[in-house]
Amino acid sequence: MKTRYIMIIDQHKCVGCAACEIACKMHNEVPTGVFLTHHIASTTGKFPKTKYSYKITMCNHCTNAPCVEACATGAMHKDEYGLTVVDYDKCIRCGLCATACPYGQITPAPENTAASDIAAVESAIEGCTASGAELKEAIGAAYPCHDPILDDYDLPMVEVGAPLKCQMCKQLVYNGDNPYCVDACPAGARVFGDMENVYDSTLYDLMQSYKMDTLLPEEGTEPAVYYMREFHKTW
């Protein structure tokens, strides 16, 4: 049976704490100014009757991925589990994948990578904080938050212009674990699993019990990230 990983986001459980965004950024050593999981927040109405909405966004790992079709070298590709991942050895940093993504979920790597942050010689607040270089020397490590499990996989810490996107924490998923964002959610709003595994009762029950929505269905990309119920806080 072929594996096809999907993620379900229960917006009713989501509390908008951004723990998923922070966990993704920290554990995947994402460069400053870049987030691989995002959110769209909005407030509507007029006080005292207002409504606040918060929707988590990320790479949708589309079945019909425009970024994969746009890539001339095969760097952006679908793996055997249905995830959309990047082979940075093949990437020529042309940016076509980012242009093709209708969701805006691919960001060219900036110059200020995580590595350069740690190598910085200036303090964020003079006289109050240590510089990255001082911290590195004090702890004797390359990156203060470096996760050794990343050593065998392509890191977001890549050459300037290379595509940065959610790769569904493939370094964990390939070993049978959840992406960091799933385990970091204190409300259990994210559910991850194999769409083709009929024995995964959690996924099956949710798919059968709730109406599932996707972002921009009119694009015909068949996203692997589904949304159920609504997030809203009303005052």
- What is the domain range of residue 218? 5-234
Digit-coded pLDDT (tens) for 138-170: 766 554 455 565 655 545 456 788 999 999 999
CATH number at residue 118: 3.30.70.20
Q: Which residue has the higher pLDDT, 26 or 73?
A: 73
Apex CA 66: angle with CA 64 and CA 68, to 5°?
85
**What is the Cα–Cα distance from 31 to 108, expressed in whole angstroms?**
11
Q: Phi/psi class of residue 82: alpha, beta or left (left: φ > 0; alpha: ψ in -120 to 50)? A: left
In terms of average pLDDT, the best of 39-43, 67-71, 115-119, 227-231 is 67-71
The answer, yes or no, to whether residue 41 has pLDDT greater than 50, is yes
Cβ neighbours of residue 141 closer than 8 Å, sequence gap 6 or more: none
Burial of 53 per CB tally in 10 Å (0-12, 13-18, 19+): middle
Q: Give the angle subtended at the CA of 125 by the CAs of 33 and 21, to the nearest 5°.
A: 30
pLDDT of residue 152: 57
Q: What is the pLDDT of residues 77-109, one digit of tens each?
A: 999 999 999 999 899 999 999 999 999 999 998
Tell me the C-alpha distance between 167 and 150, whole Å: 12
Q: What type of residue sits at position 77?
A: H
44 contact partners, CB below 8 Å, separation of at least 6: 50, 51, 53
What does the alpha-carbon distance between residue 82 and residue 59 come to, in Å, rounded to a whole number? Answer: 13
Cα 80 to Cα 101, 185, 220, distances in angstroms: 21, 27, 21
Statement: the pTM of the whole predicted model exceeds 0.85: no
The number of domains in the chain is: 1
- Beta-sheet pairing, 5-10 with 225-228: parallel
Q: Would you state the pLDDT for residue 76?
A: 97
Q: Which one is predicted more confidently, 51 or 167?
A: 167
CA distance 141 to 118: 10
